[in-house]
């Protein structure tokens, strides 16, 4: 595959400001990208530069701009970054209470190769619900980029601004490309 389509979902955490880096990493490898943001993430990003880069509106609600499609475009990989404590717990539980979460639920269900890059502090990451969420998502075949193998660890509370500079945008994309090239797991659902 020389190129594909990347769906990016941005949640409400500091690194959201720099999400253009992920779009640029994809475009550098001849991928196209579109951006969806949670309602909270809209407080962190400037949609216009992202829209100029991708040529597509940033979607945050079910309402689509005139002329844009309502259904999800064909997607070769999904990257959720930065992923908040809140959204990671919701995705693992299958909650779909906003447009971004509904899209994520459907794309994971379609077995689109998915990478989640958490941006959580160590106190939140230590919570049992979060640890269950990460384990459950990994069980489902989602790559949660977290831990020593991924060289991406939760930061100390209060250290987010400093940590934001090291956010692994490029690794997120290269991991998504690697997953997109792997054979898909057989579906285990019983429906
Ligand atoms: C300035 C600011 C920084 C935040 N940073 C983080 C963060 O780094 N990680 C996180 O999980 N939540 C962070 N939050 C809290 C989330 O924005 C909050 O939980 C929100 O409900 C997340 O919504 P979402 O998951 O739908 O994007 C931050 C909030 C604010 C106002």
Q: Determine the topology of domain 5-64+71-181 in CATH.
A: Rossmann fold (3.40.50)
Write down the pLDDT at residue 67.
63
As beta bridge partners, residue 118 has 83
Q: Where are the domains of the chain?
A: 5-64+71-181
Q: What is the pTM of this model?
A: 0.95
CA of 54 to the centre of ligand 1 (A): 25
* Residue 108: predicted pLDDT: 98
For residue 59, the tally of other CB atoms under 10 A from its CB is 21
Q: Which of 19, 18, 17 is nearest to 35 (CA)?
A: 19
CA-nearest of 133, 140, 86, 87 to 114 is 140
* SS percent in the chain: helix, strand, coil, step 5: 45, 15, 40
Q: Give how far the C-alpha of residue 87 lies from the chain's centroid of Cα atoms, to the nearest Å.
A: 10
> Residue with the nearest Cα to atom 14 of ligand 1?
13
> pLDDT tens digits for the chain (191 residues)?
469 999 999 999 999 999 999 999 999 999 999 999 999 999 999 999 999 999 999 999 998 766 666 666 699 999 999 999 999 999 999 999 999 999 999 999 999 999 999 999 999 999 999 999 999 999 999 999 999 999 999 999 999 999 999 999 999 999 999 999 998 766 665 66
Dist. CA 119 → ligand 1 center (Å): 9
Read out DSSP for 9-67?
Answer: EE-SSGGGGGTHHHHHHHHHTT-EEEEEE-TTGGGT--HHHHHHHHSSPPB-SSPPPTT
Closest residue by CA, ligand 1 atom 8: 13
Give the residue from 62, 44, 119, 109 showing the smallest Cα distance to 88. Answer: 119
Which residues fall within 8 angstroms of residue 158, CB to CB, at 6 or more apart?
121
Cα 10 to averaged position of ligand 1 atoms, centre (Å): 11
Q: What are the counts of helices (DSSP H) followed by strands (DSSP E) for the chain?
A: 8, 5
Atom 13 of ligand 1, residue of closest alpha carbon? 13
Ligand 1 lined by 87 (C-beta under 6 Å)? yes
Using N-to-C axis directions, what is the helix angle for 128-139 and 85-93, rounded to 10°? Answer: 50
How long, in residues, is the chain? 191
């Amino acid at each position: 595959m020389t190129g594909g389509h990347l769906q990016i979902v941005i949640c409400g955490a500091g690194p959201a400001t720099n999400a253009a880096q992920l779009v640029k990493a994809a475009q550098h490898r001849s991928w196209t990208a579109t951006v969806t943001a949670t309602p909270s993430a809209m407080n962190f990003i400037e949609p216009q530069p992202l829209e100029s880069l991708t040529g597509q509106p940033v979607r945050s609600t079910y309402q689509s701009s005139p002329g844009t499609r309502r259904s999800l475009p064909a997607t070769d990989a999904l990257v959720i970054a930065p992923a908040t404590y809140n959204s990671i717990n919701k995705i693992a539980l299958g909650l779909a209470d906003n447009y971004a979460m509904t899209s994520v639920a459907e794309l994971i269900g379609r077995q689109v190769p998915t990478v989640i890059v958490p941006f959580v502090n160590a106190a939140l990451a230590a919570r049992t619900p979060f640890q269950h969420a990460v384990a459950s998502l990994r069980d489902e075949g989602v790559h949660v980029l977290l831990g020593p193998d991924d060289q991406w660890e939760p930061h100390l509370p209060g250290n987010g601004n400093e940590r934001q500079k090291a956010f692994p945008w490029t690794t997120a994309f290269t991991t998504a490309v690697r997953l997109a090239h792997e054979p898909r797991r057989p579906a285990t659902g019983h429906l």
